[in-house]
């Protein structure tokens, strides 16, 4: 089982803005949040998963819980809070990239504190962390404590997934990411994230610095330009993006992340030790698998992550 840690929320997409009176805005609400998507994505790809998150007792929180159960995600590590569900208002750009505006202050997904840290059994093979839960309190310090406790004992994956709307302090992001990368075994990061975190630095130099810690692999996604993998043992190389008619890119990064973990799990390499044994050819196969999965998501509207049979 893989334990994904962080927020769960509803994305609100505006519909038919060019039609109807200006006083009326129609929205389509879709369950999401990067960690939520990764947990669902893992299950759809055939990997047992659970979500460590705070859910609201309100109507939307109950819907989130139902979605997780319907998808087969374990609710063992979910906690209920009498606080609202975070809402993300999403506008999609001309190239399909999403722009977010969050309503999340004081919401349920942020309420996890140190007293809520779970006891993990041997069935939990690895943990994934990412997105704004890394930098909003009290959940940020809770997740940091969990990373520090489990690093070296289980596979740790990290996706910064920088979102400045819920936490605009970029220095706080830089400080927390700089701490977290010291404990991660596998990191996935987008070129957009690196541009926000370190606009004046060469991405390669940043990633090579991360590889000086315990991290073995860093995957840099570059949208339509493909993706590059940096391996401590085998150097770096790139693969071109899959041709796809893009509906939007919402959830593509989460799909990529879930697919990386899935590939490792299917090969029996989802462990700290397993990551150290990967050959260059295996890493290329892993990257290709993740890019194929992400391309399927880009062809759909919203975070509609693929199922395993669609990748065969």
CA distance 11 to 7: 12
For 194-222, b where at least 16 C-beta lie within 10 A, e where not — what string? Answer: bebbbeeeebeebbeebbeebbbbbbbbe
- CA–chain centroid gap for 5, Å, is 9
Q: What is the model's pLDDT at position 19? A: 66
pLDDT in tens, 237-264: 999 988 888 777 778 999 999 999 999 9
Residue 301 has pLDDT above 80, yes or no: no
User: CB-based contacts of 106: which residues, under 8 Å, 6+ apart?
Assistant: 83, 84
pLDDT in tens, 129-155: 999 999 999 999 999 999 999 999 999
* Domains of the chain, start order: 2-16+27-311 (3.40.1190.20)
- Counting Cβ atoms within 10 Å, is residue 26 exposed (0-12), middle (13-18) or buried (19+)? exposed
Q: What is the model's pLDDT at position 22? A: 73
Q: What is the model's pLDDT at position 36? A: 97
Q: Taking residues 44-58, report their average pLDDT.
A: 98
pLDDT in tens, 5-41: 999 999 888 776 556 677 777 788 889 999 999 999 9
Q: What is the model's pLDDT at position 116? A: 98
Residue 267 has pLDDT above 80, yes or no: yes
- 3 state SS of 24: coil
CA distance 312 to 309: 5
Is residue 299 very low, low, confident or very high in pLDDT (cuts 50, 70, 90)? confident
- Choice between 179 and 29, residue whose per-residue pLDDT is larger: 179
Residue pair 227/291 in contact (Cβ under 8 Å)? The answer is yes
Residue 210 has phi, psi (to 5 degrees) of -65, -35
Is residue 303 very low, low, confident or very high in pLDDT (cuts 50, 70, 90)? confident
Residue 112 has pLDDT above 70, yes or no: yes
- Tokens 């947990």 correspond to what residue? 39
> Could you say which DSSP state residue 302 is in?
S
Q: What is the model's pLDDT at position 196? A: 97
Best CA proximity match to 193, nearest among 212, 175, 177: 177
Residue 90 has pLDDT above 70, yes or no: yes
In DSSP terms, 239 is beta-bridged to 227
């Amino acid at each position: 089982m893989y334990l994904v840690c962080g927020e769960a929320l509803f994305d609100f997409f505006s519909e038919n803005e060019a039609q109807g009176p200006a006083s009326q805005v129609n929205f389509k609400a879709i369950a999401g949040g990067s960690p939520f998507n990764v947990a669902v994505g893992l299950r759809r790809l055939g990997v047992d998963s659970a979500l460590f998150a705070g859910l609201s007792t309100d109507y939307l929180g109950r819907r989130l819980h139902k979605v997780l159960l319907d998808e087969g995600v374990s609710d063992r590590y979910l906690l209920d809070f009498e606080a609202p569900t975070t809402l993300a208002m999403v506008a999609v750009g001309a190239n399909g990239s999403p722009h977010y505006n969050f309503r999340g202050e004081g919401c349920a997904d942020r309420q996890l504190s140190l007293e809520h840290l779970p006891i993990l059994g041997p069935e939990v093979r690895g943990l994934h962390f990412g997105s704004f839960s890394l930098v909003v309190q009290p959940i940020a310090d809770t997740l940091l404590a969990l990373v520090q406790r489990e690093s070296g004992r289980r596979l740790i994956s990290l996706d910064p997934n920088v979102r400045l709307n819920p936490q605009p302090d970029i220095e706080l992001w830089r400080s927390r990411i700089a701490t977290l990368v010291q404990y991660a075994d596998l990191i996935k990061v987008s070129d957009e994230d690196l541009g926000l975190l370190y606009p004046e630095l060469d991405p390669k130099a940043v990633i090579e610095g991360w590889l000086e810690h315990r991290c073995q692999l860093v995957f840099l996604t570059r949208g339509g330009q493909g993706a590059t993998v940096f391996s401590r043992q085998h150097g770096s190389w790139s693969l071109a993006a899959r041709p796809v008619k893009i509906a939007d890119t919402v959830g593509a990064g989460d799909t990529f992340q879930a697919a990386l973990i899935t590939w490792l799990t299917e090969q029996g390499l989802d462990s700290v030790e397993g990551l150290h044994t990967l050959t260059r050819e295996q890493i290329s196969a892993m990257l290709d698998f993740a890019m194929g999965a992400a391309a399927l998501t880009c062809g759909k509207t919203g975070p509609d992550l693929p199922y395993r049979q669609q990748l065969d």
